[in-house]
A and B are shown apart, each in its own frame.
Chain A
């Protein structure tokens, strides 16, 4: 899975988010109408799609979509 495929899958999770909105350097907290619910959606996404358990500190330390991709990828490999 490369970053583009990761972004496509993540955009599908956010339902009404127009495709192409997210870029690797997008701060995911800047997603339009971001709320605390999105954090849970990202955790559910990582669990369901990659069998990866993200922690609160993983989320705190990640700012961009690239950061999320990197942490999920590293946990997949460990």
Chain B
């Protein structure tokens, strides 16, 4: 599956991508922002891929001008209308640019507006990462749980529409109307949720 919007391309990860992801996921500047902070071995990564290569988990490489710059995901979609999101950008040159924000907006638009496959998105943010907390609050996420280490936040459909309206308009101004349209390229398959398969079939007819 390939998704395109705002000049970025998202390609669902394949087995041949997992070593690249593992390399960056193990870098301390990424690992330290994650809940799971142990070093990930090649074997662990292979096991992980077996667990996530199904219709309930969607991990995409983020590409800008054919350069792979990070990973974005929507996982555990088997929970009733709720899915967990996550993103990391390993290319530091992009951290201060609007690109991480654009990637998050695209993933949410695909789930909430295109596939209509969920009503709530949840995320986990480490308490020592206030920039990530603020980033997500700007999209409309609100804290529903916290312990000494993490915040858990959720985004409802209502808050998503209320908070992202202006951001999406700004994104369109930034990249131009043509590039702001979401494009989804995929064939129906067993690796896709029923809602997504139905969406793809409806686009064909």
Q: State the A residues within 8 Å of B (CB).
A: 29, 32-41, 43-44, 47-48, 53-56, 59
Contacts and interface: CB of A to CB of B under 8 A. Distances in A.
Please provide the 7 A-B residue pairs with the shortest distance between their CB atoms, ordered closest to farther.
Answer: A43-B170, A44-B170, A35-B135, A44-B166, A33-B134, A36-B101, A39-B98
Contact of B101 (A40, A48, A55): A40
Contacts of A37: 100-101, 134-135, 138-139, 167
Contacts of A44: 166-167, 169-170
B126 interface: no
A38 B136 CA distance: 11
Binding site secondary structure of chain B = helix
Nearest to A35: B135
A24 to B, nearest CB: 21
Interface in B122-166: 130-135, 138-139, 166
Interface string B86-116: 0000000011111111100000000000000
B91 to A, nearest CB: 13
A40 B131 contact: no
A56 B176 CA distance: 11
B131 A35 contact: yes
B100 A36 contact: yes
Given A38-B138, A43-B174, A59-B98, 18 more contacts: A33-B130, A33-B134, A34-B96, A35-B100, A35-B131, A36-B98, A37-B100, A37-B138, A37-B139, A39-B97, A39-B98, A40-B101, A40-B174, A41-B167, A41-B170, A43-B170, A44-B167, A56-B175
A18 to B, nearest CB: 14
A41 B101 CA distance: 10
Given A35-B100, A56-B98, A40 B135 contact: no
B173 interface: yes
Contacts of A41: 138, 166-167, 170
Contacts of A38: 138
A59 B166 CA distance: 17
B142 to A, nearest CB: 13
Contact of B99 (A36, A54, A55, A59): A36
A44 B139 CA distance: 13
A32 B134 CA distance: 10
A56 B101 CA distance: 14
A34 B131 contact: yes
20 contacts: A29-B96, A32-B130, A33-B131, A33-B134, A33-B135, A35-B101, A35-B131, A35-B134, A36-B94, A36-B98, A36-B135, A39-B97, A40-B171, A40-B174, A41-B138, A43-B170, A44-B169, A47-B169, A47-B170, A48-B166
